[in-house]
């Protein structure tokens, strides 16, 4: 079976939330594809204690730099885009940083609500804004890829607060794509399903165990949880010339979970 291998030689890619999990896999894939990668995260160390992402990319022969970034701070995102100019300016902006806060709609506190929306919705919105403004300032339109979720379209138990942020990402993506199309900037999103990462503590084992059962409302048709590597290729596709006529799209990578 053939495999799509887009290249990003000479291009600069920012991936927020790329110290661990899906973001780490995405950053490494872009590094392998020849891009200069800015690893943007609030912490440099991966959650699994492995070698930091930027260092791993460099060890593999690529170009990468860690930029400490709090996506809830609009000025930090502006500084991040400025850092990318040292590499020629951002060509691909991946707004991936996110967090999970679970619990019943009856119990969520205002502080928890503000925290999850600040990262998952505000961080995406102003990441899109900062990248688009920088591309327009340089007269060099690029591509923006956001991280959505199956929760962008489908509700799950005890996840109202999380689902609402990912629903927001869906509309931020579509609305931005509509507005920025005239400037040649494409905006899309990847919507992962049940992915075995440390996004939620202990989730690697739990997701793998539950993927083929009905404990997650319904089983995953392909019979297993996904991995960050399963998801990463979708980002490269949407960022590449292969997707030149794709904008405003949510590309689901969920093992068929949404199909029934």
Q: In 10 A of CB 117, how many CB atoms?
A: 18
Look up residue 104 and give its DSSP letter: -
In this structure, what are the phi and psi dihedrals at residue 40, rounded to the nearest 5 degrees? -105, 120
162 is catalytic: yes
Give the separation between CA 231 and CA 233, rounded to whole angstroms: 6
- 23 exposed, middle or buried (CB, 10 Å; 0-12, 13-18, 19+)? buried
Q: Structure tokens of 33?
A: 């594809």
Q: Structure tokens of 177?
A: 């794509």
Collapsed DSSP state (helix, strand, coil) of residue 66: strand
Active-site residue identified among 87, 125, 162, 235: 162
Look up residue 140 and give its DSSP letter: -
The catalytic residues are 162
């Amino acid at each position: 079976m053939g495999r799509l291998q887009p290249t990003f030689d000479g291009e600069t890619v920012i991936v927020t939330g790329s110290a661990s999990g899906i973001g780490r896999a995405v950053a490494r894939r872009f590094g392998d594809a020849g891009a200069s990668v800015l690893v943007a995260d609030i912490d440099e160390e991966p959650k699994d204690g492995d070698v930091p992402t930027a260092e791993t990319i460099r060890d593999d022969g690529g170009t990468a730099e860690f930029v400490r970034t709090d996506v809830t701070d609009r000025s930090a995102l502006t500084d991040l885009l400025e850092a990318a100019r040292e590499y020629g300016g951002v060509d691909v902006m991946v707004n991936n940083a996110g967090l999970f806060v679970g619990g019943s709609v009856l119990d969520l506190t205002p502080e928890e609500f503000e925290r999850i929306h600040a990262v998952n919705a505000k961080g995406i919105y102003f990441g899109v804004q900062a990248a688009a403004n920088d591309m327009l300032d340089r007269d060099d339109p690029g591509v923006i890829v956001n991280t959505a979720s199956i929760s962008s379209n489908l509700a799950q138990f005890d996840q109202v607060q999380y689902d609402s942020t990912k629903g927001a990402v869906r509309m931020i993506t579509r609305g931005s794509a509509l507005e920025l199309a005239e400037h040649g900037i494409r905006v899309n999103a990847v919507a992962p399903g049940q992915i075995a990462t440390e996004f939620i503590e202990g989730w690697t084992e739990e997701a793998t165990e539950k993927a083929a059962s009905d404990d997650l409302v319904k089983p995953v048709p392909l019979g297993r949880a996904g991995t960050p590597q399963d998801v990463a290729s979708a980002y490269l596709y949407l960022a590449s010339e292969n997707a030149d006529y794709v904008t405003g799209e949510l590309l689901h990578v969920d093992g068929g979970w949404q199909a029934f």
